[in-house]
């Protein structure tokens, strides 16, 4: 799969440098959202913002409490939950991934345990 480098626009509409972004669709029950995620082969987990969990109506209290170490050694607390994922633009099936959800506004990341291991 080839991933294009595109400019990521943050929630505050700030532009970051060009990143390897993949347009995906996430689903929980009837709730579906589309978003661009950073494909990060160096990330051990897929990590998304809790705003995404809210939009999907995920009950994060039922997820496992988890800590995520990000660049610079900073540790962020969050919860892990299952979601369905589909790559937009491909005739791909839905795949179940485990993703971490954090309150901090970071670029949504698709990493090994939640995404890259599943699609190999």
> Where do the domains of the chain lie?
19-119
pLDDT of residue 119: 54
What confidence category does residue 59 fall into, taking pLDDT thresholds of 50, 70 and 90?
Answer: very high
Mean pLDDT of 66-92: 86
Q: Is 62 exposed, middle or buried (0-12, 13-18, 19+ CB in 10 A)?
A: exposed
> Residue 47, Cβ neighbours under 10 Å: how many?
27
pLDDT in tens, 2-39: 677 777 766 555 666 788 889 999 999 999 999 999 88
Going by C-alpha positions, the residue among 41, 46, 42 that lies closest to residue 120 is 41
Q: How confident is the model at residue 118 (pLDDT cuts 50, 70, 90)?
A: low
pTM summary value: 0.82
In the prediction, which pLDDT does 4 show? 74
* Class of the domain covering 19-119: mainly beta
| Residue 66: partners with Cβ closer than 8 Å, 6 or more residues away | 77, 78, 79, 80, 100
């Amino acid at each position: 799969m080839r991933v294009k480098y595109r400019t990521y626009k943050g929630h505050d509409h700030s532009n970051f440098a060009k990143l390897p972004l993949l347009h995906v669709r996430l689903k929980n029950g009837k709730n579906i959202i589309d978003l661009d995620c950073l494909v990060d082969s160096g990330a051990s987990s897929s990590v998304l913002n809790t705003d995404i969990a809210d939009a999907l109506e995920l009950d994060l209290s039922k997820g496992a409490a988890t800590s995520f170490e990000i660049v610079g050694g900073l540790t962020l607390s969050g919860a892990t939950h299952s979601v369905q994922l589909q790559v937009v633009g491909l005739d791909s099936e839905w795949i179940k991934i485990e993703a971490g959800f954090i309150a901090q506004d970071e670029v949504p990341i698709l990493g090994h345990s939640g995404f890259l291991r599943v699609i190999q």
